[in-house]
Amino acid sequence: MSSPTATLLISCPDQRGLVAKFANFIYSNGGNIIHADQHTDASAGLFLTRIEWELAGFNLPRDIIAPAFGAIAQPLQANWQLHFSDRVPRIAIWVSRQDHCLFDLIWRQRSKELNAEIPLIISNHPQLQSIADQFSIDYHYLPITPDTKPAQEAKQLDLLRQYNIDLVVLAKYMQVLSSKFIAQFPTLINIHHSFLPAFPGANPYHRAFDRGVKIIGATAHYVTQDLDEGPIIEQDVVRVSHRDQVEDLIRQGKDLERVVLARAVRLHLQNRVLVYGNRTVVFA
């Protein structure tokens, strides 16, 4: 985390020489690569890579890196993103009534596990206002009914613009977002309290109990138009037994949800997640 770095996330049709081309771009400009990883999806014919290098000693000025790399990427039909580590992303956390993920994310941000700012909390319930106050984060209570939803989503979008938000984290926000909303703000991470694709939708713990599973899970994924169908970033599980009632599954699930969501958010903030199709490559 010491000196600032630049990170390129690239995906393009697979072909010979890509590793060399990208490495040469950094090297020929005097850059020192501190992390490079790549993956080839043969079935998709796709090459995906992450390259991070130190800006100290790099010959290209920051504002020239994008156009300079663009000239290399264009003939390769590459999709790419460029990120600078000293540009701190801004997160809006959305919650309903449960506080465990909210508390956890704030604690991790305060303890520097998450390199981000958290200026905004949005909720469809008033209960968690006190936590926001406790950490002096703005809390906007926007209750949702079928009738008010469109208007409230418009307000939510205004808030995201107003607070200059880069990432929305749905930390147990128990409302479905409209396709219209997602189309306008597509960078959302959601925590679903089941081992997807098992038990999508409502009440996964109750359904896990009814099914008599011996293991429960949690899944962090990007949000897409299709509920609980977005690209999976991280999952984890815990073993349960016949002694565990629904409330026990919920209790143990909270620990999973906290950790799985935090890992996913951290990976995203470090620009280690590359989405293609409905899959993710996680350059851990």
Q: Which is nearer to a copy of itself, 176 or 198 (CB)?
A: 198
Q: Are 11 and 47 in contact (CB under 8 A)?
A: yes
CB of 146 to a copy of itself, least distance (A): 30
Helices in the chain by DSSP H: which ranges?
18-28, 62-73, 100-110, 129-134, 149-162, 179-184, 204-211, 246-269
Q: Which is nearer to a copy of itself, 87 or 239 (CB)?
A: 239
Tokens of 48: 């995906």
Query: Omega of the bond prior to 197 within 30 degrees of 0, cis?
Result: yes
Buried b (16+ CB within 10 A) or exposed e, 40-59: eeeeeebbbbbbbbbbeebe
- Taking the alpha carbons at both ends of the chain, their separation in whole angstroms is 16
Active site residue 228: yes
Nearer to a copy of itself, 155 or 279 (CB): 279
Which spans of this chain sit near a copy of itself (rule: CB under 8 A)?
16-20, 23-24, 26-28, 30-43, 99-100, 103, 107, 111, 113, 134, 195-199, 210-215, 217, 231-237, 239, 241-243, 245, 251, 255, 259, 262, 278-282, 284
Q: Minimum distance from CB of 212 to a copy of itself (Å)? A: 4
Rounded to an integer, what distance in angstroms lies between the CA atom of residue 121 and that of residue 140?
Answer: 6
Is the dihedral angle over the CA atoms 73, 284, 119, 171 positive or is it negative? positive
Which tokens is 65 given? 């890196």
Of the pair 184, 236, the CB lying nearest a copy of itself is at: 236
User: Does residue 186 sit in helix, strand or coil?
Assistant: coil
Judged by beta carbon, residue 126 or residue 197, the one nearer a copy of itself is 197
Name the residue nearer to a copy of itself (CB basis): 122 or 232. Answer: 232
To the nearest whole angstrom, how small is the minimum distance from the Cβ of residue 79 to a copy of itself? 17
Bridge partners (DSSP) listed for residue 221: 190, 232
The least distance separating a copy of itself from the CB of residue 124, rounded to whole angstroms, comes to: 20
Specify the pairing of strand 5-13 against strand 32-41: unpaired
Q: Which residues contact 278 (CB under 8 A, 6 or more apart)?
A: 224, 229, 230, 231
Query: Which one from 37, 226, 228, 244 is the annotated catalytic residue?
Result: 228
Write down the least CB distance from residue 229 to a copy of itself, Å: 9
Q: Looking at residue 178, what DSSP letter applies?
A: P
State the minimum distance, in angstroms, from the CB of residue 53 to a copy of itself: 9
Q: What residues are labeled active site?
A: 228
